[in-house]
Amino acid sequence: MQDGPGAAREDWAEAGLRLEVDGATATVTLCRPERRNSQTPALWRALAAVGRELPGSVRAVVLRSEGPSFSAGLDRAAFSPEGIPGERSLTDLARGDDAVADAVIAGYQEAFTWWRRPDVITVAAVQGHAVGAGFQLALACDLRVCAEDARFAMRETSLGLVPDLAGTKPLVELVGPARALEICATGRWVAAEEAERIGLANLVVPAKELDGATGDLVAALLAAPRNALIETKSLLADAPSRAYDDQRAAERAAQLRRLRDLANLGD
C-alpha cells in the first residue's frame, strides 16, 4: 500500500485524519475515536486538502472512521464561550462582518463539497453515531454503506442553528423535502433499517461485515470503465435540474462521446 500525500503530514494527524492510497482507491479515515471523531475546523481544512491533493489515478474514495462512532458532529468545545483553541469562536463569527462570516463558513463547506465531483465515486462506511456534521459528511458522499448499529441525527435545528455544511441538498434529494424537514426539525434518530428504507443508506450489513461490504462495492464500481462511469455520474447528478428533453439531449451527447472514444475517434 502506498501512503497518500497527506498520510504523514503532522497537521492532518493532529486534526484526526489519515489518508491512504492503494492503486485506484483512496481511504480517508477519521481517527479521533477517543472524541468519537468529533469535528473541528482543523479537520475540515485537512479534508478540503485531501480533495485537492488526491492523485489523478484515484477513482474511488472510501470515507471511514475508527472507533464506535462514525462522527459525533461538531466538537462540543465550539459551543463554549472560549470556543476551540486556535479557532474563531462562534460568538466572534456572529459578531463579525457578514462578508467575513460568509467566507469563513464557505471555507468550512469545502471539506464537504468535493466528494461528489464527477471523476471519483465516494463511499461512506458508517457505524455508530453520525450526528450533525457527521451526518452531513456521510451525505457528502455518493453512496453510504451502514452497519446495523448506525444512527443518524441532524441536531443543528434543536440547537437553534441550521445544517450549513452542504448537507441539505443531498438530504432532500435522497428522502424528499417533507421527510428532510421532519428529520431536521425534530433532530430525531434515524436508525440503519429506516435509513435503508427511505434511501439514506444503499446497504446495511452487520458491523463486522462493514469493511468487507464496502470493499466489495468499491470493487464493483471500479469494474466499469472510468470514462463511462464519469459520464454516467454526471448525467445522473444533473438530471434533477434538467428538463426531460434537455436530459435526453445530454444522454445523446454523452453517448456519442463514449462511442467515439471506444472507436478511437476522440479529439
Task: Check if the beta carbon of residue 18 is closer than 8 Å to that of residue 29.
Answer: yes
Report the number of secondary-structure helices (H) and strands (E) in the chain.
11, 10
Strand partners, 28: 19, 63
Angstrom distance (rounded) from CA 183 to CA 157: 10
Task: Check if the beta carbon of residue 200 is closer than 8 Å to that of residue 144.
Answer: yes
Q: Give SS3 for 62.
A: strand
The distance of Cα 115 from the centroid of its chain, to the nearest Å, equals 6
> What grid cell was written down for 104?
469563513
Which helix H or strand E contains 218, and what residues bound it? helix 210-222
Angstrom distance (rounded) from CA 52 to CA 207: 31
Q: Give SS3 for 143.
A: strand
Q: Which of 156, 182, 196, 231 is catalytic?
A: 156
156 catalytic residue (yes or no): yes
Task: Check if the beta carbon of residue 162 is closer than 8 Å to that of residue 103.
Answer: no
Q: Which residues are catalytic?
A: 156
